[in-house]
Structure 1
């Protein structure tokens, strides 16, 4: 979710602010109700309440400032005890933002990293909108890109005001004071004051207009490997995910959704279910049944005992074969043009060789380690929602729509996410839980089984790509066409982002190649699969686009009889950062310097997406039965300035493992309107003993930070398929590779 949602971010005006105005953030300060100091970012255009000085912060764990204090969009609080609180606008789903963002604050504020505590930001688009995404959400590998300057400025401005407060008290020049370790010290060394002691006075200081940030050479925290701050509680079990929520008087619900897309409930016989100890109630809704129990096991047993009849409807005729046939037919249509450079017709006329290919990528489920769950307590005067979500404001909106309550009566309690990958950008789980909760009047935790989770996911779309290229006498591409056929997620998720028929996510990478191609046309044909719901999946457009482009680029190198690395280097002259990561990765992998045994091969890929540059080299072995084992992956990444190298390495490793799983095994198939896969038995994950050694080489850079959570997954698949070609001579144009090799 990169340029697609970044494009959606350009429509932040729906929240009352232009993207440009949002990027021009001002600073304001105030005194908290406890007498502490609060620093935040204010919009250039204030609401009426803001102008009157009334707080619009509120929510879980955030203490509202006193009336008369102008303090919107607060990120940093310092109370009179010296406690530093970061109001976290992003959610932690394993990517490390609960360490990286505090690092930015601590660096400029001059406090120890372990002294920064975190409170979840409540749903509030005006205060916590990510201007890159146009909403209060976590995704698109934007967290550090979004926070890099604002968080540092927040810390630096707070430090400057604390120093100014100390200087005023000591009647000396502020230049003779410095901040260090949560204190302000006088240069003479005879006076010190803690931040807590200075909090009240600092709040009365004027906000500095010229905020000077540290030079990178002076960083003490940023850029250094730091252990994750959230690891201890995850290790000792005290961390609270959505699934861990426990409330007094809570009951538990197990769900049975209609197995056919678009189907509805016809009838249910719950006679046997009601005899099971612990079962309290059976609730019917339009497309499913919920069994309420004293505990999850009772509810689950009760759900298994239901005898249900479904109205399957027209969706029962849908199959993967039908969907693909319809996409192939759609690919014959002219699409909306995303890029048109040069004269493609002339290029093909002058070409000496033509290469044509069709690539296909399957539906994929998210299969997060923490299954879908949501706890709600619906009352006549309010609704509380507990879960882990990437989109707290959309969850609140779903609550408003489902209950008819005003937004201030719908409270979202956000928690750690046991995996997001785009699945928790959706709010269907909250809507369903509220439907159930409205009939109970007590807190209820709704948990989907793994089977329900996989068979009722919102899937990474099936994609169908047609490419053609013309090569000159030297094998260089002089004409390139690429037609993309697939679902438009943004048409549902952020409709204003889709312009002139172009979904910017669907065409990402394909429409902005790092290679020098003089004549190219890229077009997009929107085609929605019958009844199958689609959604973002880790990497989204770049994952789809990189597999196709880098596989096809390898085909051209083979046709030209040029080494795949050299072929790419020759086309990357205008993109030096891309060529550099290619050089770093291939040199580290000793490309071309080592012979490989029969059945083993190496493949390479290059990618520019999410503001970062990646190159990967995969080494694989293919056995006689078509089984593929990835022996090693070497990766080079230029993601600009690095906040926490340990996080970068971990995210790339995790992304690669996620990508290997999808490339080798990932596939959701439809038969009779039903998803055929149901659990990890037939929707396989990469196992521990199959995980290869992964080398991550981080390129030093002074450029602004790029994204890191998704590129590892996005760049991986073509490196594997290109390696398989090197090992076997079989060109795989469809994923997953295991199925293709066995059927070849």
Structure 2
């Protein structure tokens, strides 16, 4: 298997043989065009058009199933008026300056930002390419450019007609317009189409799509790592005598950071078996040794005296006297467990030596992290580390951790192997479930004060959770000592809540944590929407009408949420007094509202149907949006119903899907998704379906049983799900 992935290699391959047109961003950060390696030395293209008319869209965001390859391609093809079936895709090489996420300033995928940050960038690249082709055709045919029409990859003027490829040689000599005119919504043909097939469907169906796990290089050896059973443990010594009896065993070495022992084998099975046969002595002096109950208690103790005020306009201390004068108060405590991401393709990474350094094969979510970290371990310049991004079989945030853990593990394994042959590191499912980088454990405590008329007069909200970004390269997100991901969803609530004080404490543990699909919103959304339901119950109001009364439409997002709530109310046929559940939440600048229909028989709960509405700006690919809402709901149900990561004396109890169980087919409810019509700029859809799903179901359980779900998973409340 030979894959040339360097930027220079990409351009050389493009220039080889027939001429191709490249359109992208140059060193000055403006749109430019070229055709050969020499003419495009400062150009990283978003669009490539070959002489045979094939259009290739260069995808700067990796694909983990969320639909970026389809969405970004749609933006280019729309403005280019390309033939959808003739448009191909390729992943961008690692180059932060050229292919950075415009919201992050780094090359990476996450936060449901792929389409939002690329919306105009890719459209303008497509429009610039179209303009170049039209001007080239006008020159070749000797006609006025205004006489030329473009449709399905063909240019036409009078009796002249030809495909894109006929004009790339001339187009590549022209100067690209820096700010091309893009279409207005009434001109869209592909954006918003219900008929487009996903660009990754065929390869994933016939097996030709290359995932990181599929990489198989000549002479490659395999690596598996024995990691500390307690987070934070380090290797004292090891004995590999048992591993030597395993067929295919090559060698074992302590990792340079002493976080584990790597076993090398001639195949994956040999590496796993040899790893499991190692005898390792560990130093647990700096390791986590608490059990789950103790960690929950320590979280809740931190709620007594929060470290930081999140809302500086309303210090937490100022809320206490207001609550003391309340006619009624609502008090509630919640706790949430660690959660694994559990992507179906566990972490894996292959590193091979090259003439100038190394090449990394990975479903790489953040090349900006991976490239320099691998380089530092191998004592290389980052430019000597090529990153070949392949498809990833899920991530949900796992592959985006700021330490690039499995990439750096692979680099360390490569280093101690001798650096002569490719090394493929593979995590087992057990490695993944027990290996950390979880959604953090969290605890909330809230006290809401109501006046004699049932109006909210004050709200004391406290959160204890380990910070995801402090102490990482993402620490620049911290403001006034507050990690915004810890309290998002509370601090960003759309509801008009007076005297809203928010306190935060940073829990400390060696257990590694990470973004998890919807990040802080995964627990804050559950808490806020449960509390809102409690207020509605206490005051005798309809849950939907009460929320609408707390959204006056004074901001754009409030107005969007009102539209989402009204739409789900309509499609679900909601009526006051229904024994159903409702929740709505803003996350990643997208508004989602959910109505849950369930059946409860004694302690058995079945989720029958979810109605979901989403306001996400212009719907680039409606089918992808619906799929992401459905997938987000299924992901949420898997975790709220029964999933948790627990520890006994610092060691994880769960090991695989039998005890970290995914939602079964028969448990998946019918889901009806409605998209609010909008011409606003698109917002994220990969994560926003998760936060409101859980509280909608929990509120439905209360509506039917009178029992509030405060602690997750819901099995802790005595319910089984069927």
Does TM, normalized by the shorter one, top 0.5?
yes
Q: Distance in 1 between matches of 2:37 and 2:275?
A: 50
Q: Distance in 1 between matches of 2:473 and 2:383?
A: 24
| More moved, 194-203 vs 693-702 | 194-203
Q: Distance in 1 between matches of 2:357 and 2:324?
A: 68
Q: Distance in 2 between matches of 1:629 and 1:524?
A: 35
Q: Tell me by how many angstroms 1:594 deviates.
A: 8.5
Query: Does the 8 A contact of 2:133 with 2:168 survive in 1?
Result: yes
Match of residue 518 from structure 1: 498
Q: Tell me by how many angstroms 1:209 deviates.
A: 4.5
2:192 to 223, 226, 230: 223
The answer to whether 1:101 aligns with 2:79 is no
Match of residue 92 from structure 2: 121
Match of residue 441 from structure 2: 462
The answer to whether 1:37 aligns with 2:21 is yes
Query: Does the 8 A contact of 2:94 with 2:368 survive in 1?
Result: yes
The number of aligned residues is: 691
Match of residue 372 from structure 1: 347
Q: Distance in 2 between matches of 1:37 and 1:45?
A: 18
The answer to whether 1:173 aligns with 2:144 is yes
Are residues 43 and 514 of structure 1, via their aligned partners in 2, closer, same or farther at CA, if it must alter by over 3 Å?
farther
Q: Distance in 2 between matches of 1:106 and 1:328?
A: 53
1:649 aligned counterpart, secondary structure: helix
Q: Distance in 2 between matches of 1:346 and 1:163?
A: 70
1:713 aligned counterpart, secondary structure: coil
Q: Tell me by how many angstroms 1:589 deviates.
A: 2.0
Q: Tell me by how many angstroms 1:313 deviates.
A: 2.4
Q: Tell me by how many angstroms 1:207 deviates.
A: 2.6
Are residues 316 and 507 of structure 1, via their aligned partners in 2, closer, same or farther at CA, if it must alter by over 3 Å?
closer
Q: Distance in 2 between matches of 1:493 and 1:680?
A: 32
Q: Tell me by how many angstroms 1:41 deviates.
A: 2.2
1:649 to 621, 626, 631: 626
1:611 to 560, 568, 589: 589
Q: Distance in 1 between matches of 2:111 and 2:609?
A: 27
| More moved, 115-124 vs 375-384 | 375-384
Q: Tell me by how many angstroms 1:300 deviates.
A: 2.0
Match of residue 116 from structure 2: 145
Match of residue 697 from structure 2: 720
Q: Tell me by how many angstroms 1:202 deviates.
A: 1.5
Are residues 200 and 170 of structure 1, via their aligned partners in 2, closer, same or farther at CA, if it must alter by over 3 Å?
same
The answer to whether 1:132 aligns with 2:103 is yes
Q: Distance in 1 between matches of 2:719 and 2:677?
A: 42
1:303 to 275, 282, 299: 275
Query: Does the 8 A contact of 2:95 with 2:107 survive in 1?
Result: yes
Q: Distance in 2 between matches of 1:325 and 1:64?
A: 63
Q: Distance in 1 between matches of 2:385 and 2:565?
A: 50
Query: Does the 8 A contact of 2:27 with 2:42 survive in 1?
Result: no
Q: Tell me by how many angstroms 1:138 deviates.
A: 0.6
Match of residue 77 from structure 1: 48
Q: Distance in 1 between matches of 2:29 and 2:595?
A: 50
The answer to whether 1:272 aligns with 2:242 is yes
Q: Tell me by how many angstroms 1:444 deviates.
A: 1.8
Query: Does the 8 A contact of 2:249 with 2:271 survive in 1?
Result: yes
Match of residue 411 from structure 1: 386
2:573 to 587, 590, 606: 590
1:260 to 230, 233, 250: 230
The answer to whether 1:383 aligns with 2:358 is yes
Scaled by the length of structure 2, what TM-score is found? Answer: 0.91
Are residues 195 and 148 of structure 1, via their aligned partners in 2, closer, same or farther at CA, if it must alter by over 3 Å?
same
Q: Tell me by how many angstroms 1:540 deviates.
A: 0.3
The answer to whether 1:560 aligns with 2:529 is no
2:287 aligned counterpart, secondary structure: helix
Q: Tell me by how many angstroms 1:251 deviates.
A: 1.5
Q: Distance in 1 between matches of 2:574 and 2:37?
A: 64
Query: Does the 8 A contact of 2:525 with 2:691 survive in 1?
Result: yes
1:250 to 220, 228, 234: 220
2:203 to 227, 233, 255: 233
Query: Does the 8 A contact of 1:378 with 1:438 survive in 2?
Result: no
Q: Tell me by how many angstroms 1:143 deviates.
A: 0.9
Q: Tell me by how many angstroms 1:334 deviates.
A: 3.8
Match of residue 6 from structure 2: none
Residue deviations 1:241-270 (CA, integer Å, cap 9, x gap) = 111110111122222211111112233332
Match of residue 166 from structure 2: 197
| More moved, 266-275 vs 627-636 | 266-275
Are residues 349 and 308 of structure 1, via their aligned partners in 2, closer, same or farther at CA, if it must alter by over 3 Å?
closer
2:301 to 323, 329, 353: 329
Q: Distance in 2 between matches of 1:378 and 1:487?
A: 38
Match of residue 523 from structure 2: 544
Query: Does the 8 A contact of 2:588 with 2:688 survive in 1?
Result: yes
Q: Tell me by how many angstroms 1:130 deviates.
A: 0.9
Are residues 252 and 69 of structure 1, via their aligned partners in 2, closer, same or farther at CA, if it must alter by over 3 Å?
closer
Runs of 5+ consecutive residues of structure 2 not aligned to the other structure: 1-13
Q: Tell me by how many angstroms 1:428 deviates.
A: 0.7
Q: Tell me by how many angstroms 1:697 deviates.
A: 1.1
Q: Tell me by how many angstroms 1:380 deviates.
A: 8.6
Query: Does the 8 A contact of 1:620 with 1:631 survive in 2?
Result: yes
Q: Tell me by how many angstroms 1:45 deviates.
A: 6.6
Q: Tell me by how many angstroms 1:123 deviates.
A: 1.0
| More moved, 236-245 vs 468-477 | 468-477
Query: Does the 8 A contact of 1:65 with 1:71 survive in 2?
Result: no
The answer to whether 1:494 aligns with 2:477 is no
Q: Distance in 2 between matches of 1:269 and 1:72?
A: 52
Q: Distance in 1 between matches of 2:566 and 2:70?
A: 31
The answer to whether 1:284 aligns with 2:272 is no
Q: Tell me by how many angstroms 1:273 deviates.
A: 2.0
Q: Tell me by how many angstroms 1:431 deviates.
A: 1.1
Query: Does the 8 A contact of 1:280 with 1:293 survive in 2?
Result: yes
Residue deviations 1:656-688 (CA, integer Å, cap 9, x gap) = 000000101121111111111111111111111
Are residues 545 and 171 of structure 1, via their aligned partners in 2, closer, same or farther at CA, if it must alter by over 3 Å?
same
2:236 aligned counterpart, secondary structure: strand
Match of residue 207 from structure 1: 176
CA RMSD of superposed structures (Å): 2.3
2:287 to 312, 315, 323: 315
Q: Tell me by how many angstroms 1:193 deviates.
A: 3.5
| More moved, 723-732 vs 645-654 | 723-732
Q: Distance in 2 between matches of 1:171 and 1:576?
A: 52
Query: Does the 8 A contact of 1:628 with 1:738 survive in 2?
Result: no
Q: Tell me by how many angstroms 1:121 deviates.
A: 0.8
Scaled by the length of structure 1, what TM-score is found? Answer: 0.89
The answer to whether 1:735 aligns with 2:712 is yes
Are residues 674 and 380 of structure 1, via their aligned partners in 2, closer, same or farther at CA, if it must alter by over 3 Å?
farther
1:704 to 672, 681, 691: 681
Are residues 171 and 103 of structure 1, via their aligned partners in 2, closer, same or farther at CA, if it must alter by over 3 Å?
same
2:670 to 676, 693, 697: 693
1:252 aligned counterpart, secondary structure: strand
Match of residue 4 from structure 2: none
Runs of 5+ consecutive residues of structure 1 not aligned to the other structure: 1-30, 56-62, 596-600
Q: Distance in 2 between matches of 1:459 and 1:583?
A: 35
Match of residue 442 from structure 1: 421
